[in-house]
């Protein structure tokens, strides 16, 4: 490998100490003092690597290594340094540190590039403090306005704008989207697919489409002791039958569909009462909007059937729709070729800053394995050798894209 | 009919005004000022009917009409005047008012009885304020000690003993269990069985056995977007599959089994997280302990199968066991004969004061229909003609039992 695996790893570990929590995790909520300290450290490392650091009005940080021939054209990489309240050491951080390692390696090899290279730290990717995820990257591409962002209110009551001022990261400089040659983000998978396939590198073709639904089931609240089975309209039994039947039908349709009932609430929720009301959420994801259209039809059909069978009346409402994001096909193929046999194509289950940037520039992502698929948890883990493989691929991609064949 | 239907109905309606709530319901929590006012009204009516009123140390009220030949022998009827927080006008009240109507009818007909007749108002049947149901009747038969009862703490923090003193119903007189010839309690069914069968009178053979279980399912908390179906250990899907499979197997075993999952809690309960933990309660009832033994085996087998299938680890713990209470067979048959063709045998789905008294004296119950099976709700309803039929049967039973053929 061309990059320095130990330098990369020690930077990740040093960053993890900023806002470190017991068990090896991190708590660097966006624009908190800990985030400020993490940003200061990143900024210092970038300047030490000879980069100029620009901060825009969303607090996005761009460390720029100036290109020789086309300095206004940028090959950009990066991710985010903010974490979940009980987060891991790699989610987001890996992509920023891998980008920094690319810079350092370019320096080690004394390589000049034709275009400039930038490493970005996007603000508030997690949406854990300010409940709108990917604020910085969406702001960069114009999907979120400055006014919308500044008015976001944190769970602690502080606004995004106040918090940005508070840590001194409200800037007024930074590149424009038109300058991007491409954007390539490295990230941990946060899922078990690479590990299960024994692959080190994931070439991310797309980010799944996602739909959220709220289902409300109405039955009859009754005495558990006195109401015979055939006289019940049990909202929870209807909800449970819906879960079982829907999963079977959806996985028959396509085993790749991700179907989750993550929140369940019963109206009375008392042991000796037949539930008259049950409400639950559905999180449905697949890399393809048409399959989700068909999946939604299945869900509605199953629900109607259950209403007939159980004597309930149910409503299914769509609460959130995220269309699929397809990454740049040519760029993805280029990366795949550079990656070699240790890579596989896959779709991202989670949303990333790259999903926003894909709207304005050729964009791709590189995944590295998450042990046991764990993320958003202090047990999140990335093997050092896999961290090195991903950063090395990123180096080769960035170096190639920043030196276009003319 | 021998009783006076309008007098019975107007007494029920007048009692309903004490602690009346919007929509026609009642709130007379045990030993509250409203309960005190209801007791005072009942006491006045009983004294006006020529009864002596005794109050024991549990606050149980006994209105006694002295018998001619064997005054120390008592034929007892009654129920309770306390209600749920949002209760109806009939649950408990009906049995006490029907007993009062029996007294008044004995007076109308100028009938003396050989044994004494007593109408009882048991304290804290509901267990809604002091969370131990049937306190008065269990105290009477020695299943609850005076010390245990007095230390019960209400949801408002006041002890049973303090509340009893507060409304002036801590007495020291009352009959002893040995004096009972028999105890017959009239009550609304609180279920839909009589209505569905178009019967006016229920001859209650038994009160169902009941078992409560707590089930804890452990899976893996995972990201809903990144975790493929085959890699999930979804605790809620396991819980849902358990509900569906258990219901099918139990109702195949016996359609009379009452199986309720009334409380469900998920560990994370977030829409975009595969639930790693699910906990739920099971309320299982049947008029027969052996069937419940077999049902419990079914539940454990289903749970093991689901753990294997879903990759979860589950525990099923018994939290509460109520054995079946069989009422007196001879007395039940006598009542059935008096009731005629408009009656049917059934088992009580709920617990009643009669379940406690059955331990010390020949005991039986008479049910009258609840409209749509609704109880513990302001919509609870008993048709006036059904109220009259039940009280008339009660009159004939009490009159017969109080004049034994020697």
Say if residue B172 is exposed, middle or buried (CB neighbours under 10 Å; 0-12, 13-18, 19+): exposed
pLDDT band, residue B132 (cuts 50/70/90):
confident
Nearest-neighbour CA in chain B from A374: distance (Å): 7
Q: Given an 8 Å threshold on Cβ–Cβ distance, is A231 in contact with B192?
A: yes
The residues near A395 (Cβ < 8 Å, ≥ 6 apart) are: A2, A3, A101, A102, A105, A106
The residues near A158 (Cβ < 8 Å, ≥ 6 apart) are: A166
Determine the residue of chain B that is closest to A224 in CA distance. B260
Which whole number is the average pLDDT over A219-234? 93
Nearest to A275 among B192, B228, B262 (CB): B262
Q: Does the structure show a pLDDT above 90 at B404?
A: no
A128 against A313, higher pLDDT = A313
Query: To the nearest whole number, what is the mean pLDDT of chain B?
Result: 96
Which whole number is the average pLDDT over A238-252? 98
B256's tokens = 């009379």
Which whole number is the average pLDDT over A13-19? 98
* B373 shares contact with chain A (CB less than 8 Å): yes
* B317 shares contact with chain A (CB less than 8 Å): no
Nearest to A190 among B223, B262, B270 (CB): B223
Nearest-neighbour CA in chain A from B11: distance (Å): 27
Q: Are strands A343-348 and A61-65 parallel, antiparallel or unpaired?
A: unpaired
B249's tokens = 């197997």
B131 against B99, higher pLDDT = B99
The Cβ of residue A406 has, within 10 Å, a number of other Cβ atoms equal to: 6
Chain B residues whose CB is inside 8 A of the A192 CB are: 226-228, 231
Distance CA A274, CA A13 (A): 52
Selection from A352, A289, A285 nearest residue B229 by Cα: A285
Nearest-neighbour CA in chain B from A54: distance (Å): 33
Q: Given an 8 Å threshold on Cβ–Cβ distance, is B269 in contact with A275?
A: no
Q: Given an 8 Å threshold on Cβ–Cβ distance, is A193 in contact with B373?
A: no
Distance CA A120, CA A137 (A): 10
Nearest to A273 among B190, B193, B262 (CB): B262
Question: Element (H or E) spanning A94, and its range?
Answer: helix A93-108
Which whole number is the average pLDDT over A139-158? 95
Alpha-carbon torsion, ordered B290, B296, B301, B303, to 10 deg: 170
Q: Does the structure show a pLDDT above 90 at A214?
A: yes
The residues near B382 (Cβ < 8 Å, ≥ 6 apart) are: B90, B94, B188, B368, B369, B370, B371
Nearest to A270 among B263, B269, B285 (CB): B263
Chain A residues whose CB is inside 8 A of the B226 CB are: 189-193, 348-350, 373, 375
pLDDT band, residue A165 (cuts 50/70/90):
very high
CB distance A188 to A57 below 8 Å? no
At residue B325, the 3 state secondary structure works out as strand
B62's tokens = 């006994």
CB distance B12 to B401 below 8 Å? no
- What's residue A406's pLDDT? 63
Say if residue B54 is exposed, middle or buried (CB neighbours under 10 Å; 0-12, 13-18, 19+): middle
Chain B residues whose CB is inside 8 A of the A274 CB are: 260, 262
Selection from A79, A81, A78 nearest residue A118 by Cα: A78
**pTM of the prediction?**
0.85
CB interface of B with A, residues 238-277, below 8 Å:
239-241, 243-244, 247, 251, 255-264, 266, 268-275
The Cβ of residue A180 has, within 10 Å, a number of other Cβ atoms equal to: 21
CB interface of A with B, residues 340-369, below 8 Å:
348-351
* A225 shares contact with chain B (CB less than 8 Å): yes
Q: Given an 8 Å threshold on Cβ–Cβ distance, is A236 in contact with B224?
A: no
Determine the residue of chain B that is closest to A320 in CA distance. B271
At residue A133, the 3 state secondary structure works out as coil
- What's residue B272's pLDDT? 86
Percentage with pLDDT > 90 across chain A: 93
Nearest-neighbour CA in chain A from B348: distance (Å): 7
Chain B residues whose CB is inside 8 A of the A223 CB are: 190-191, 349-350, 373, 375-376
Q: Given an 8 Å threshold on Cβ–Cβ distance, is B281 in contact with A271?
A: yes
Rg (CA), chain B: 24
Q: Given an 8 Å threshold on Cβ–Cβ distance, is A226 in contact with B259?
A: no
Q: Does the structure show a pLDDT above 80 at A307?
A: yes
B312's tokens = 């979860």
At residue A42, the 3 state secondary structure works out as helix
pLDDT digits (tens, 9 = 90+) for A344-384: 999 999 999 999 999 999 999 999 999 999 998 899 999 99
Q: Given an 8 Å threshold on Cβ–Cβ distance, is B225 in contact with A351?
A: yes
- What's residue A168's pLDDT? 97
**Residue whose entry in the numeric block shows the structure tokens 């893996």:** B220
Nearest to B227 among A192, A237, A274 (CB): A192
Q: Given an 8 Å threshold on Cβ–Cβ distance, is B224 in contact with A281?
A: no
Q: Given an 8 Å threshold on Cβ–Cβ distance, is B272 in contact with A251?
A: no
Half-sphere exposure of A173 (CA within 13 A, CB side): 7
Sign of the alpha-carbon dihedral angle for B258, B262, B268, B272: positive
CB distance A59 to A136 below 8 Å? yes
Q: Given an 8 Å threshold on Cβ–Cβ distance, is B226 in contact with A273?
A: no
Interface test with A, best of B87, B226, B243, B249 (most A CBs within 10 A): B226
Which whole number is the average pLDDT over B135-156? 95
pLDDT band, residue A309 (cuts 50/70/90):
very high
Determine the residue of chain B that is closest to A192 in CA distance. B227
pLDDT digits (tens, 9 = 90+) for B284-335: 999 999 999 999 999 999 999 999 999 999 999 998 888 999 999 999 999 9
Under DSSP, the state recorded for B139 is H
Nearest-neighbour CA in chain B from A174: distance (Å): 32
Q: Does the structure show a pLDDT above 80 at B406?
A: no
* B190 shares contact with chain A (CB less than 8 Å): yes
Distance CA B210, CA B406 (A): 40
Chain A residues whose CB is inside 8 A of the B264 CB are: 236, 264, 266, 269
Sign of the alpha-carbon dihedral angle for A330, A331, A334, A339: negative
- What's residue B344's pLDDT? 98
* A180 shares contact with chain B (CB less than 8 Å): no
Q: Given an 8 Å threshold on Cβ–Cβ distance, is A373 in contact with B227?
A: yes
On whether ipTM exceeds 0.90, the answer is: no
Interface test with A, best of B84, B223, B250, B279 (most A CBs within 10 A): B223
Cβ contacts from A onto B, under 8 A? 197
Q: How far is CA B329 from the centre of its chain?
A: 20
Q: Given an 8 Å threshold on Cβ–Cβ distance, is B189 in contact with A226?
A: yes
CB interface of B with A, residues 7-46, below 8 Å:
none
pLDDT digits (tens, 9 = 90+) for B259-278: 999 999 999 888 888 999 99
The Cβ of residue B110 has, within 10 Å, a number of other Cβ atoms equal to: 6
């Amino acid at each position: 490998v061309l990059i320095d695996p130990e330098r990369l790893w020690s930077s990740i570990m040093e960053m993890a100490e900023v806002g470190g929590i017991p068990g090896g995790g991190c708590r660097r909520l966006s624009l908190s003092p800990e985030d400020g300290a993490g940003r200061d450290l990143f900024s210092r490392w970038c300047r030490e690597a000879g980069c100029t650091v620009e901060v825009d009005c969303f607090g996005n940080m761009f460390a720029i290594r100036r290109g020789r021939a086309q300095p206004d054209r940028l090959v950009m990489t990066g991710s985010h340094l903010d974490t979940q309240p009980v987060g891991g050491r790699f989610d987001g951080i890996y992509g920023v540190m891998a980008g920094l390692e690319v810079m350092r390696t370019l320096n080690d090899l004394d390589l000049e590039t034709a275009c400039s290279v930038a490493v970005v730290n996007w603000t508030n990717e997690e949406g854990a403090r300010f409940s709108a995820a990917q604020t910085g990257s969406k702001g960069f591409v114009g999907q979120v306005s400055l006014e919308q962002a500044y008015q976001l209110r944190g769970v602690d009551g502080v606004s995004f704008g106040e918090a940005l001022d508070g840590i001194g990261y409200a800037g007024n400089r930074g590149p424009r989207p038109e300058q991007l040659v491409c954007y390539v983000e490295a990230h941990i998978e946060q899922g078990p697919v690479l590990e299960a396939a024994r692959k080190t590198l994931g070439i991310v073709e797309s980010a799944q489409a996602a739909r959220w639904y709220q289902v409300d089931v109405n039955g009859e609240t009754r005495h558990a002791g006195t109401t015979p089975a055939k006289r019940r309209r049990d909202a929870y039994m209807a909800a449970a039958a819906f879960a079982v039947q829907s999963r079977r039908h959806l996985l028959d349709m396509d085993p790749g569909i991700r179907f989750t009932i993550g929140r369940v609430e019963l109206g009375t929720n008392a042991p000796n009462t037949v539930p008259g009301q049950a409400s639950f959420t559905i999180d449905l994801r697949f890399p393809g909007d048409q399959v989700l259209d068909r999946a939604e039809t299945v869900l509605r059909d199953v629900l109607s059937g259950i209403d007939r069978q159980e004597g309930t009346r149910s409503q299914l409402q769509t609460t959130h729709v995220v269309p699929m994001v397809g990454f740049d096909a040519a760029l993805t193929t280029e990366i795949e070729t550079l990656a070699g046999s240790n890579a596989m194509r896959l779709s991202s289950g989670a949303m990333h800053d790259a999903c926003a940037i894909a709207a304005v520039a050729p964009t791709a992502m590189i995944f590295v394995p998450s042990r046991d698929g764990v993320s958003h948890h202090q047990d999140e883990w990335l093997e050092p050798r896999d961290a090195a493989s991903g950063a090395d691929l990123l180096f080769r991609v960035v170096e190639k894209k920043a030196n276009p064949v003319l």
